[in-house]
Amino acid sequence: MYQETESPASKPETAREKTAPTPEEKERKEILARYRALLRAVQPAIKSTEDRKRIKKAFETALAAHKDVRRKSGEPYIFHPIAVAEICAKELNLGVTSVVCALLHDTVEDSDLTLDEIESMFGREVRQIIDGLTKIEGFVDTSESIQAENFRKILLTLSNDIRVILIKLADRLHNMRTLEYMKREKQLKIANETLFLYAPLAHRLGLYRMKTEMEDLALKYTEPDIYHDIVSRLKKSEEVRNRFINSFIQPIKKKLTEQGFKFEIKGRTKSIYSIYNKIKNKGVPFEEIYDIFAIRIIIDSEPQNEKADCWRVYSIVTDFYQPKPDRLRDWISFPKSNGYESLHITVMSPTGKWVEVQIRTRRMDEIAERGYAAHWKYKESSIETNIDEWLRKVRAVLEQGDQNAVDFVESFKLDLVTEEIFVFTPKGELKALPTGSTALDFAYEIHSDIGDHCLGAKVNGRLVPLSYVLQSGDQVEIITSSKQKPKEDWLKIVKTSKARHKIKQALREEKRRLAEEGREQFERKLRHLGFTFSEKDVPKIIRFFQVPNIQDFYVRVATDVITNNDIRRFYKEELSRSWYDYFRKKLRRSPSEGKKETTPSAPTLQELLKKTHRSEDSLIIGDNVTNLDYKLASCCNPIPGDEVFGFVTVNEGIKIHKTNCPNANTLLSNFAYRVVKARWTSSEDIAFQAGITIRGFDDVGIVNRITRIISNQLKVNMKSINFESNEGLFEGRIMLFVHDTQHLEDLMEKLRHVPGVIAVERMG
């Protein structure tokens, strides 16, 4: 085992080997160096010699468990648990137990070490955390079940120990940092999983720094060209940006110093992923994003003076620069439920640019960066209460196991990332809800019984319907009735996963009750009509009444949608058909029976999966060499040159999607086991549909010039064209047929040079 006190450098010169160190010796030296770096990172949390011994024992146990195992990069596997442990110590501020568990997190999964042995060496607490981490690995690595169900199980670990999730987030972060060594399809899967759940979860736990890095790294692999373009643009504008920041903060620094503040001021550049989202969702060019950076003022302040000191700084800033009233965000008076506290203002600079200024204390800044992990350091803060309240809500939803997994994860993810509003009960109690929440959401937030019987609400003394969208500062009183019951259309009203889950639960319970009642009614009606029910009749009933299942049939009986006459007609027709079929078979039976020709049916989902996973070959698109049925997805209209993947649908064969399709994130995260590799054949004889958007100045003849270039110069066929003009600007959408991405890019480049055209972009 490794000895911390010995190294080749400590030996006398005469005792050293003259030859160069072997690769094995270099590796041992590197492992020891990384272990020592970990010890330096965890040093503030080490309280005794016993703590140091536990860490060393965990390191040696992991080293033995992963002996001779290597990562995809070719490095010793032990590098990974050491790196995860260092992230826990250095970036999440976790303690000795978490570091021990991080070192051991893959040992039970990847070696003969058992949980019982872990418990005997490190205690029950470490065993429970390792057990949770091992179960997560089992969920995520399987390809047999839907990813959404795996994520649900991951989240269930919140019920046991939050450190399981924090260590798992550290594990995922290090995997993202070393993703370059994975195959392309694996990169896409892991990156999309990260965007789908892990980054939103880090955000909800207040781990801003981790969430930002995860998103940026995911973008690097899902949209590499866009990622590198934004990085390049940020680098080019860095010097100008720094000069502007230094000029902007000079008068503020001087005044803060005069007022006796101890402070730090720094510029924070918007994350690459945030810039990408703004460009993509709002159509804003990079050059026009005004909040590409923000100024952060961090002050040293005593706990009792924090709020007052932050507002004093606000006063100083607004003495120099005019604030924008509608951009004030006071998260000091109303902290976010993940513990985030800060004062955000947007002010006008002398050069005419809007600048966001964030004001916070040292404590607030550490919580903003480290999130939940920082609350152990600041026990007196409100973050523990806020986070624990959120965890209670999570557990309440997770413990209900009867919800569809995909629906659950989608709605839960919405709760993870949505901004919040703050509303009051009639007695003045403050409640935090996602932005866009309705009066009905508020009712379920108070109690599920109040939600189930909610008739309406009074907001600020005024009567409003259930669908009324609440605003921050509203005071809400819920009106209930014992006769009210949840309805199907309530699902379209609510925003929160808690309300949605409770409504679905109540509807299912009501449906079960009606089905039971309907079954009894059906059996009574049969006895009255003189018919006998058999289980063999169930498929015929479903087919005759066109219902999805027998439960729905019983519900319709209970609600009189299906009457006595309907049941009588079914049995009479079915009885007649049975006799007719019997005699037809008797009359038509012949020696050649059993040799009838059959029409081949469409391949089932299982057959398609079996075919597509038969080998490592990709599905080839664009020629007739494959016998698999595929279609190009209309949601993204892929064309040759686009990076694509195949998705095995239930009824429509294989759909081909671009890897940056709007639906790719959900498909790759929830249904990874139905994804197949795909590539284009090199054929220029096939035309593929693509769409472009053109924006520019509305000038006489502009449309004619554009269409002439497309049709006459480039000989491209158009399927449809639509132009709209508004206040001197136009926007056109053209669907056309091209051979591949290069063909389309050449066309777009030509159009960009048309006088009056501002931008040409591909649709989808």
Residues pairing with 451 in the sheet: none
Active site residue 131: no
Question: Helix 96-104 to helix 115-122 angle, to the nearest 10 degrees?
Answer: 150
Look up residue 388 and give its two tokens. Answer: 């624990």
In the 8-state DSSP scheme, what is residue 625? -
CA angle 624, 627, 630 (to 5 degrees): 80
**Sheet arrangement for strand 718-726:** 718-726, 729-738, 688-697, 757-762
Could you give the CA distance from residue 591 to residue 577 in angstroms, rounded to a whole number? 25
- What type of residue is 26? K
Is the alpha carbon torsion for 276, 282, 288, 289 positive or negative?
Answer: negative
Q: Which residues contact 593 (CB under 8 A, 6 or more apart)?
A: none
Query: 109, 117, 149, 229: which is the annotated catalytic residue?
Result: 109
Whether residue 225 lies in the annotated active site: no
Let me know if 57 is exposed, middle or buried by CB neighbors in 10 A (0-12, 13-18, 19+): middle
**Are 718 and 707 in contact, with CB atoms under 8 Å apart?**
yes
Query: Rounded CA gap, 142 and 17, in Å?
Result: 49
Amino acid at 143: S
Token pair of 286, please?
């990079």
Q: Is 722 exposed, middle or buried (0-12, 13-18, 19+ CB in 10 A)?
A: exposed
> What backbone phi and psi angles, to 5 degrees, belong to 102?
-65, -40
Q: Taking a C-beta distance cutoff of 8 angstroms, is the pair 398, 159 a contact? A: yes
Q: Which residues contact 100 (CB under 8 A, 6 or more apart)?
A: 54, 55, 58, 122, 126
Q: From 501, 560, 572, select the one nearest 530 (Cα to Cα).
A: 572
Give, to the nearest 10 degrees, the angle between helix 96-104 and helix 49-65.
10
Rg (CA), the chain: 32
Contact between 276 and 224 (Cβ < 8 Å): no
Distances from the Cα of 500 to the Cα of 415, 422, 440, 549, 561, angstroms: 12, 20, 10, 24, 27
Q: Sign of the CA dihedral 436, 441, 443, 444?
A: negative
Report the sign of the C-alpha dihedral through residues 613, 614, 620, 625, in that order.
negative
Side chain identity at residue 398, one-letter code:
L
Out of 30, 51, 75, 110, the active site residue is 110
CB proximity list for 315: less than 8 A, separation 6 or greater: none
DSSP-based three-state secondary structure for 325: helix
Cα 291 to chain center, whole Å? 24
Query: What H or E segment, with its residue span, contains residue 129?
Result: helix 124-141
Question: How many Å apart are CA 366 and CA 70, to the nearest integer?
Answer: 36
- Catalytic residue numbers read 109-110
